[in-house]
Amino acid sequence: MSLRASSSSILRSGIAAGATRGAAATLPLRSGAVALPRHATLPRARAPAAPRSFSTTTRRAEEYESPFGINSLSKLTEEEEMLRDAVRRFAEDVVAPRVEAMDEAEKMDPAVIKGLFEQGLMGIETDPEFGGAGGSFTSAIIVIEELAKVDASVSVLCDVHNTLVDTVMRKYASKELQEKYLPQLSESKLGSFCLSEPASGSDAFAMKTSCKKSDDGKHWIINGSKMWITNSAEADFFIVFAQGDPSKGYKGISAFAVEREHGIEIAKKEKKLGIKASSTCTVNFDEIKIPIGNLIGEEGKGYKIAIEILNEGRVGIGAQMIGLAQGAYDKAVRYAFERKQFGKPVASFQGMQFQMAQALTDIEAARMLVYNAARLKEEGRPFTKQAAMAKLFSSQVAQRVAGQAIEWAGGQGFTREMGLSKYWCDSKIGAIYEGTSNIQLQTIFKLSQAEMGL
């Protein structure tokens, strides 16, 4: 398979099995995407009684049955393997040549965003009825991981759009909002998730952004500012959380679907240590008026949406971190086999081999935590603790491995030209966004305490 014009998209041809409802899928053509064999069909489920891996229906734990029986966590379906291979080629062929320029300019190349949409990677779990692929949550995790091996900035752009924005719209938005926005989010409009504020970070529900109904009852009016908002410079669609009644505390918060055309102002763009090509801006709302029907879910239930959705987002950040760690490891180890000291490759020294072996073990352990959390989520089982563990540990591994990778490459690793320093700078954000490491530790302890009945 190769990249070429007038070929089939990754997801719509490779994993849209959920749309076939068991029938063989003929692969459609789409411009600018990774090709699959022209007359290829997707395999039927091997165990008819088991749910398809790419079903959009979440089954209760007691109903879930693996289509393969008992497996390792790294076991992927044939469609998931196809997806991994295709995204890896897209990342290497389309993203990799642009990474250095994007990082230096601190700006996402529009061609990369366009390519993500063309490949069907921006509506991974969205039902085909709304232009998506109907894929599984693990499919999204695979995409995020593979993109992060090449560039964490591109990975987080795709991650936030899929695991936060798309998921909120799929799970909580009205049918009317879904019909209006999900096709756009699958095909062309980048999404942004507006929760954090200058004085509202880990304490997310101390927000000051306000919302109220207009006098005629036909609109919501939003005022305030959000800070540290990912994708905001390029986004056309925003999910905004606002406080409607401070006396109710977190129970006064609601969520809204807001378009850039409603009058959103994108203000200061942050200059960051890492993920520089990913835009992180202040977003201002000055008497923004939106239709009354753009409320997502129930009034005053925005806090529930935020809490539940961030659990999924943390698994996505975990995937980003393991992809980043693997990318740094692969680049440094290859260089260590090329670079010679004392007449032999640096990688041939036992001290180096031990460090590399430990790093690889750490990456694999982090990957298992991430995949376990993803599979638990798909099975309809509790996964909040596992999501916190996955994010916490994978961010620690990413920082450690990316730092070691620089050392393995010596002076060359310290230069920006080689690209290892970018992995290290990018890794630090994993301990901060979508819940700091201390918040994850607190979550893990509290849930474990409850499980022990203490």
At residue 360, what is the residue type? L
The active-site residue out of 79, 146, 434, 451 is 434
DSSP 10-21: HHHHHTGGGGTT
Provide DSSP, 387-414. Answer: HHHHHHHHHHHHHHHHHHHHHHTHHHHT
Is the pLDDT assigned to residue 395 strictly greater than 70?
yes
Q: Any idea which residue has 């750490």 for tokens?
A: 362
Question: In angstroms, what CA-CA distances link 17 with 2, 25, 48, 196, 424?
Answer: 21, 7, 14, 36, 37
Segment 119-131 mean pLDDT? 97
Residue 181: count of CB within 10 angstroms of its CB: 22
Q: Which of 134, 163, 131, 133 is nearest to 147 (CA)?
A: 163
Task: Take residue 379 and report the two structure tokens written for it.
Answer: 């099975």
Nearest to 275 by CA among 92, 430, 116, 98: 430
Q: Are 244 and 253 in contact (CB under 8 A)?
A: yes
Say if residue 380 is exposed, middle or buried (CB neighbours under 10 Å; 0-12, 13-18, 19+).
middle
Name the band, by pLDDT with cuts 50, 70 and 90, for residue 30: very low
Span 61-88, mean pLDDT? 78
- Distance between CA 107 and CA 153 in Å, rounded? 10
In angstroms, rounded to a whole number, what is the distance separating the alpha carbons of residues 323 and 367? Answer: 9
What pLDDT is stored for residue 9 in this prediction?
Answer: 52
**Nearest in space to 313 (alpha carbons), one of 230, 237, 257, 242:** 230
Is the distance from CB of 244 to CB of 220 less than 8 angstroms? no
pLDDT, residue 201, reads 81
The percentage of the chain sitting over the pLDDT mark of 90, rounded to a whole number, equals 80
Cβ atoms within 10 A of the Cβ of 49, count? 7
pTM passes above 0.75? yes
Q: What is the pLDDT of residue 192?
A: 98
Nearest to 106 by CA among 271, 324, 266: 271
Per-residue DSSP letter, 192: E
Confidence of residue 68 (pLDDT cuts 50, 70, 90): low
Whether 312 sits among the annotated catalytic residues: the reply is: no
Question: Averaged over 176-194, what is the pLDDT?
Answer: 98
Which residue did the predictor score with more confidence, 32 or 400? 400
The pLDDT-based confidence of 70 (bands split at 50, 70, 90) is: low
Q: Which of 240 and 379 is assigned the larger pLDDT? A: 240
What pLDDT does residue 63 have?
Answer: 57
416 three-class SS: coil
Confidence bin at 39 (pLDDT 50/70/90): very low
| Cα 298 to Cα 172: distance, rounded to the nearest angstrom | 9
Q: Rounded mean pLDDT of the chain? A: 88
Tokens of 133: 């692929």
> Phi, psi (5° rounding) for residue 204?
-60, -25
Point out which residues pair with 258 in neighbouring strands: 238
Report all structural domains of the chain as residue ranges with CATH numbers, in order of start: 10-187 (1.10.540.10), 191-303 (2.40.110.10), 310-451 (1.20.140.10)
Q: Backbone dihedral region of 6: left (phi > 0), alpha (psi from -120 to 50 degrees) or beta?
A: left
The DSSP annotation for 142-189 comes to HHHHHHHTT-HHHHHHHHIIIIIIIHHHHHHS-HHHHHHHHHHHHHT-
Backbone φ, ψ for residue 275 (5° rounding): 35, 55
pLDDT attached to residue 40: 38
C-alpha span between 313 and 58 (Å, rounded): 17
For 189-240, write each residue's pLDDT tens digit.
999 999 999 888 888 789 999 999 999 999 999 999 999 999 999 999 999 9
Q: What is the pLDDT of residue 72?
A: 79
The closest alpha carbon to 241, from 192, 314, 185, belongs to 192
Bridge partner list, 223? 210
Q: Kindly state the average pLDDT of the residues 299-327.
A: 97
Element (H, E) at 366: helix 350-378
- Lowest mean pLDDT: which of 28-32, 92-96, 297-301, 426-430? 28-32
Whole-number Å distance between alpha carbons of 347 and 238: 48
The 10 Å Cβ neighbour count of residue 194 is: 28
Banded model confidence at residue 67, pLDDT cuts 50, 70, 90: low
Structure confidence at residue 49 (pLDDT): 40
Nearest to residue 352, comparing CAs of 365, 364, 363, 341? 341
pLDDT confidence of residue 205: 80
